[in-house]
Every structure is written in C-alpha cells, then in structure tokens.
Amino acid sequence: MPIDPAKLAPPGVRTLAPYIPGKPLEELEREYGISDSIKLASNENPLGPGQRALAAIAQTTRQIGLYPDGSGFKLKQALARKHGCGTDCITLGNGSNDVLVLIAEAFLSPQSEAVYSQYTFAVYPIAVQATGATARIAPANPAGHAMPLGHDLVALAQLINERTRLVFVANPNNPTGTWVTADALRRFIAAVPEQTLVVVDEAYIEYVSDSDFPDASRWLGEFPNLIVTRTFSKVYGLAGLRVGYALSHPSVADMINRVRQPFNVNALALAAALAALDDAEHLQRSVETNRAGMAQLRAGFEALGIHQLPSAGNFVMIDCGRPAAAVYDTMLRRGVIVRPVGNYGLPNHLRITIGTREQNERMLAALKQALHP
Ligand SMILES: Cc1ncc(COP(=O)(O)O)c(C=O)c1O
C-alpha cells in the first residue's frame, strides 16, 4: 500500500486549516448565473487605485521582461522618509500577509510559542502553525465590553512566557473592527519582555481619525522588539498587486530579509506603491468615502435593528442574531458578497466592507430582504 504523500508534510502543515478568502465576483456570477454583482467581502478600497498609481503601472509594463529591483530601493527610500526611519528598518513583502509569514519563519521554531487574540486576522494562526510553533490564543473581550470581541491586552500578556517569540496585535482588528488605545498599547508593549517581539498590524490605520489611536511606528526607536506592519491593499487600493511592509529595528529587518525571496515584490507593485504614496488626494478621497459610508451603514443597520460592533476600519461586523450562513446566502443570490465569519468562531456574525454610496444602498437592501423577507 503506497503511503499518502500528504503524510510527508510536518504535523503543523498537515493540520493547517487553509485561509478562506472572500468569494470572488466571477465565481458568484458563474455559480448563480447573475451579473452586475458587488463584493464587500475583503476590505478593499471601493474606489480602487488612484490615477498616479495607474499611470505608474502603465509606464512600468514595458519593464516587466526584467526582474524587479529586489532591494526595492526607491520605495524603501520613500517609506523611510514617510516614517522618519532608515531604509534598513524596512522589509518589503508581497502584501503584508507575506511579511507576516516571513516574520513567523524568521523567529519561530517548533520549540517556541506565539500569542494572539481569539478573534483576529486568520493569517496569524496559519503563519504560526506552519513553523511548528505553538499558538497560545487569548480570550477576547466579552460581548458587553466597550470593544466587544476585541483584544484583551491583559489576557494576551498573561500568555507570554520565556518561549514566546511573537505576539500579534492587529489594530484596528480584523474581523471585529475594534481597536486598542495608544495608552493601553504602549503600556502593553513596554511590559512585554525583550525576548518577545510584538507585531502591531496596522493594515487599516489610514482610516482611523480617533485622537486616542496609536501610530505604533512612532515607538520603534524605543522598543527594539516592536514590529509594525502596513499594507498598500486597503486605503491605497492596490490589493491585487500585493505589496506591504514591516518597520522594525534594523537587526530584526535583517533577520526577516534573510528568509525573504529575493524578488518578492513585483515591478508593477513597486512602481504603483511609490506613486500611491505621493497621491494625497486619492488617499483623502478614499478616507472620506469610507467615513461617509460608515455613517450610511451605521444608520442602515440601526434602522434594521441590527447589533453592530464599533469599527475604526473600512468594514463593520454585525450580529445577525441568528446563523449568518442563510443571510449570507440570500444576499449572494441578490448579487451582494459579504463575509461570513463562522471560520473565526462567530457563526451569527457577518463582516461587511464599506463600499461606495450605491454599493452600500444595495447591500442594505439585500440585507433587509435576507432578514425580513
Ligand atoms: C489585519 C490585516 N492584516 C493584514 C492583512 C493582509 O493584507 P495584505 O496581505 O493584502 O497586505 C489584512 C487583509 O485583510 C488584514 O485584515
């Protein structure tokens, strides 16, 4: 009897639950025989990329016969200026997802542990488990908390021991949208022992206007065990190109760069990200669209009597008060893709990305239909 070659993979890989992405538009339209559907399932920018990024992509297409600049020199220079750090603090990735996986590869081993919260970004468990390290999962805030289902920093701190190499804190958090304040996060980081790296994932930070909200990159000089990750997939509208980065102490960046593929960020992504950094107008328009959409969704959910979580991102999580799978399915049939989060252990909740005004209207109508047919 031949052996199942899957058994050749180490246990951490064999037992991985693969990441479940938002349903692609094309798949929905193929399966249901519909057209003109909308996707509010993956926290993308409904405006897409700005004109400057598009122009940079068009210009760069002529160069794609060549390998990209593996050092990402120009983009790193621009990011170093933006963050007031040296280029040696920056690691570029094929999306911040790539950076998160590289951090796990560089710092975890089957002998070490990583800590994250109960309802947080699904890539952390995958990145950790693939290395053979042990994941310790902290209970989230209770439903009645001001930040329901969000990070309980005390519970996270309690799980840190001498084997802990990484702690992941998404701020704002996905899928809940909740956040931790500057004071609380700073106190947490200051109390983490120096042999544990704190990864603060700021994928949605550009959307946040709260004066209490931390930009953890400002603390990099103080905490050599701090890593901050950012992405061009959200407010910059470049999710399809895949580019993100980590900011850290140069020694940490050196370690992450050792496991990085030499050309992990493609030429179009490098050019588009560089141009996007210069497009303040698109950034502002994207943030404003999100702010207006957030108000529209809040009012719409309230009118439908739906419980909604606080959110500082470009998405809102709602509690349908019943299994969300049927609600999701009815919305799909009306051409609206949102995100069920049963895989996060939240079977009654849906995570909904904020779209344009028209998309939001259509989503709210589909939701109403699904809840009150
Ligand atoms: C909290 C968080 N971090 C990181 C990412 C990864 O984004 P990307 O790999 O596109 O940069 C996401 C994407 O949804 C996210 O929600």
Identify the pLDDT of residue 350: 98
Identify the pLDDT of residue 246: 98
Question: What is the layout of strands, in order, in the sheet containing 339-341?
Answer: 307-308, 315-319, 346-353, 339-341
Prediction pTM value: 0.97
Measured distance CA(7)–CA(17) in Å, rounded: 16
Measured distance CA(336)–CA(325) in Å, rounded: 14
Residue bearing the CA closest to ligand 1, atom 2: 203
Measured distance CA(36)–CA(135) in Å, rounded: 42
Residue bearing the CA closest to ligand 1, atom 16: 174
**224 within 8 A of 69, measured Cβ to Cβ:** no
Domains along the chain with CATH numbers? 5-48+281-371 (3.90.1150.10), 51-277 (3.40.640.10)
State the closest ligand 1 atom to the C-alpha of 96, by its place in the atom list counted from 1.
11
127: enclosing H helix or E strand: helix 123-130
Rg for the chain, CA atoms, rounded? 21
User: Where in the chain does DSSP place strands (E)?
Assistant: 38-39, 90-93, 113-117, 134-138, 164-170, 197-201, 226-231, 244-248, 307-308, 315-319, 336-337, 339-341, 346-353
* 80, two tokens: 């170093």
Measured distance CA(296)–CA(300) in Å, rounded: 6
Q: In which band, very low, low, confident or very high, does the pLDDT at 373 lie, cut at 50, 70 and 90?
A: confident
Q: What is the pLDDT of residues 111-128, one digit of tens each?
A: 999 999 999 999 999 999
Identify the pLDDT of residue 206: 98
Identify the pLDDT of residue 2: 84
Q: What is the pLDDT of residues 333-361, one digit of tens each?
A: 999 999 999 999 999 999 999 999 999 99
The verdict on the CB of residue 37 being under 6 Å from ligand 1 is no
Measured distance CA(42)–CA(36) in Å, rounded: 18
Measured distance CA(73)–CA(87) in Å, rounded: 8
199 pairs with which residues across the strands?
A: 168, 227
The verdict on the CB of residue 243 being under 6 Å from ligand 1 is no
Q: What is the pLDDT of residues 260-271, one digit of tens each?
A: 999 999 999 999
Identify the pLDDT of residue 308: 97
Q: In which band, very low, low, confident or very high, does the pLDDT at 175 lie, cut at 50, 70 and 90?
A: very high
Identify the pLDDT of residue 224: 98
Identify the pLDDT of residue 336: 96
DSSP per-residue string spanning 86-125: -GGGEEEESSHHHHHHHHHHHH--TT-EEEEESSS-THHH
Q: In which band, very low, low, confident or very high, does the pLDDT at 11 lie, cut at 50, 70 and 90?
A: confident
The verdict on the CB of residue 225 being under 6 Å from ligand 1 is no
Pick from 94, 231, 243, 353 the residue to mutate for probing ligand 1's pocket: most ligand atoms within 8 Å of its CB.
231
Alpha-carbon separation of residue 343 from 20, 51, 96, 173, 319 (angstroms): 8, 36, 21, 16, 15
The verdict on the CB of residue 202 being under 6 Å from ligand 1 is no
Identify the pLDDT of residue 23: 84
State the closest ligand 1 atom to the C-alpha of 239, by its place in the atom list counted from 1.
10
Over residues 297-304, mean pLDDT: 97
Q: What is the pLDDT of residues 130-163, one digit of tens each?
A: 999 999 999 999 999 999 999 999 999 999 999 9
26: number of Cβ within 10 Å: 10
Measured distance CA(297)–CA(305) in Å, rounded: 12
Measured distance CA(154)–CA(83) in Å, rounded: 29
198 pairs with which residues across the strands?
A: 167, 226
Q: Give which of 309, 178, 166, 288 is closest to 229, Cα–Cα.
A: 166
Identify the pLDDT of residue 22: 82
Q: What is the pLDDT of residues 62-112, one digit of tens each?
A: 999 999 999 999 999 999 999 999 999 999 999 999 999 999 999 999 999
Q: In which band, very low, low, confident or very high, does the pLDDT at 331 lie, cut at 50, 70 and 90?
A: very high
Q: Give which of 189, 205, 207, 373 is closest to 289, Cα–Cα.
A: 207
Measured distance CA(121)–CA(229) in Å, rounded: 13
The verdict on the CB of residue 290 being under 6 Å from ligand 1 is no
55: number of Cβ within 10 Å: 15
Q: What is the pLDDT of residues 217-249, one digit of tens each?
A: 999 999 999 999 999 999 999 999 999 999 999
Identify the pLDDT of residue 94: 98
* Average pLDDT along the chain: 96
The verdict on the CB of residue 170 being under 6 Å from ligand 1 is yes
Q: What is the pLDDT of residues 20-79, one digit of tens each?
A: 888 889 898 898 888 889 999 999 999 999 999 999 999 999 999 999 999 999 999 999
Q: For the ranges 4-8, 95-99, 144-148, 210-214, which has the lowest average pLDDT? A: 4-8
Q: In which band, very low, low, confident or very high, does the pLDDT at 15 lie, cut at 50, 70 and 90?
A: confident
Identify the pLDDT of residue 89: 98
Q: What is the 3-state secondary structure (H, E, C) of 318-342?
A: EECCCCHHHHHHHHHHCCEECEEEH
Percent of the chain with pLDDT over 70: 100
